[in-house]
Amino acid sequence: MSVTAPVTAPVTAPDAPAVAHFRFFAMEVVRTRRVGHSFLRVTFGGESLTGFRSGGFDQSLSLFLPLAHQEHTVLPSTDEDTWFAAWRGIPDEERPVMRSYTVREQRRTDGGTEEVDIDFVLHGAEEGAAHAAGSPAADWAARAVVGSRVLAIGPAVAENKSVRFQPPAGSDAIWMYADETALPAAAAILDRLPAGTRVRAWFEVPHADDRLDLATPADADITWIVRESAGRERTGAVLEALRADGPTAALTPYVWLAGESGTIRAVRRHFVQERCVDRRAVRFTGYWRLGASEEQLLAEAYAGKAASEDPASAL
Closest listed residue to residue 44, CA positions, set 187, 123, 140 = 140
Contact 240, 212 (CB under 8 A): no
Tens digit of pLDDT at every position of the chain (315 positions): 333 322 223 333 334 345 689 999 999 999 999 999 999 999 999 999 999 999 999 999 999 999 999 999 999 999 989 999 999 999 999 999 999 999 999 999 999 999 999 999 997 543 333 333 458 999 999 999 999 999 999 999 999 999 999 999 999 999 999 999 999 999 999 999 999 999 999 999 999 999 999 999 999 999 999 988 655 688 999 999 999 987 776 789 999 999 999 999 999 999 999 999 999 999 999 998 887 666 676 667 666 543 333 333 445
| CATH class for the domain made up of 20-159+292-309 | mainly beta
Contact 289, 297 (CB under 8 A): yes
CA atoms of 23 and 81, how far apart (whole Å):
12
- Domain ranges (residues) in the chain: 20-159+292-309, 173-288
CA atoms of 185 and 189, how far apart (whole Å):
6
DSSP assignment string, 29-92: EEEEEEETTTEEEEEEE-GGGGG-----TT-EEEEEE--TT-SS---S---TTTHHHHHHTS-T
CA atoms of 303 and 289, how far apart (whole Å):
17
CA atoms of 196 and 45, how far apart (whole Å):
33
CATH of domain 173-288: 3.40.50.80
